[in-house]
Amino acid sequence: DQQVKQNSPSLSVQEGRISILNCDYTNSMFDYFLWYKKYPAEGPTFLISISSIKDKNEDGRFTVFLNKSAKHLSLHIVPSQPGDSAVYFCAASALTGANNLFFGTGTRLTVIP
Amino acid sequence: GAGVSQSPSNKVTEKGKDVELRCDPISGHTALYWYRQSLGQGLEFLIYFQGNSAPDKSGLPSDRFSAERTGGSVSTLTIQRTQQEDSAVYLCASSSQGVQETQYFGPGTRLLVL
């Protein structure tokens, strides 16, 4: 049973525009959320995180929004750059009592120059 | 500094053979995780080591899978009597403490079982 879902397998965006990647989760115990970015033949690299006490976290061009009532989070990249082209994974965890992250299936972002 | 390294990068084996995958975590990281990513799937948790505590094996899919971590550092994931459905990318990650800390991933081992 997939507890973290990314329903869009792919997304194409023009360079300079905003990229919005979405993620839904089902487990109400999750209280810590992360986005990882993965290039081909490399392991995922941490991008940005948010805890459930916040609804927004920003780091440069990357902003993560959390809507706890909807069990939904999104990653905004603005402006998008060709180097952002990668697979983005959403992950979630319950910090108390959990030993692992639950990952979504990923969204492949292509930024068109 | 050096990141997480994994070997081999690619492994092709025949059904029924045993394989061993190696992970060298970041020096000083006490937490080590194994995940696998099958085609079209997200990362699936397999096993977690934290210091000298008993490992969390709750994600291992069958008793053909086992892992150990020697001296709190290097870890080996062993798959016995491999099956075609074991074909996946096996990823190792480490963090300085536990899940509340950022996990740093290795490049993975791509396993193909023929």
Give the residue-averaged pLDDT of A72-98. 91
Q: Categorize the per-residue pLDDT at A85 as very low, low, confident or very high, splitting at 50, 70 and 90.
A: very high
Q: Categorize the per-residue pLDDT at A72 as very low, low, confident or very high, splitting at 50, 70 and 90.
A: very high
Of A32, A98, A104, which is closest to B42 when you measure between CB atoms?
A104
How wide is the angle at C-alpha B55 spanned by C-alphas B51 and B59, nearest 5°? 135
Of A42, A93, A98, which is closest to B107 when you measure between CB atoms?
A42
Cα distance between residue B2 and residue A87, in whole Å: 24
Contact B71, B51 (CB under 8 A): no
Give the residue-averaged pLDDT of B80-97. 94
Q: How far is CA B34 from the centre of its chain?
A: 3
Taken as a whole, chain B contains a residue count of 114
Q: Residue B91: is its pLDDT beyond 70?
A: yes
Whether residues B99 and A98 touch (CB distance < 8 A) is answered with yes
Q: Categorize the per-residue pLDDT at A11 as very low, low, confident or very high, splitting at 50, 70 and 90.
A: very high
pLDDT at residue A97, rounded to an integer: 61
Give SS3 for B64.
coil
Whether residues A103 and B59 touch (CB distance < 8 A) is answered with no
Render A38-91 in DSSP notation, one character per residue.
E-TTS--EEEEEEETT-SEEEETTEEEEEETTTTEEEEEESS--GGG-EEEEEE
Give the residue-averaged pLDDT of B87-97. 92
Give the residue from B85, B89, B101, B110 showing the smallest Cα distance to B15. B85
pLDDT at residue A94, rounded to an integer: 85
Give the residue-averaged pLDDT of B42-69. 91
Whether residues B4 and A43 touch (CB distance < 8 A) is answered with yes
pLDDT at residue A44, rounded to an integer: 93
CA distance to partner chain A, nearest, from residue B81 (Å): 26
pLDDT at residue B72, rounded to an integer: 76
Q: Report DSSP state, residue A28.
A: T
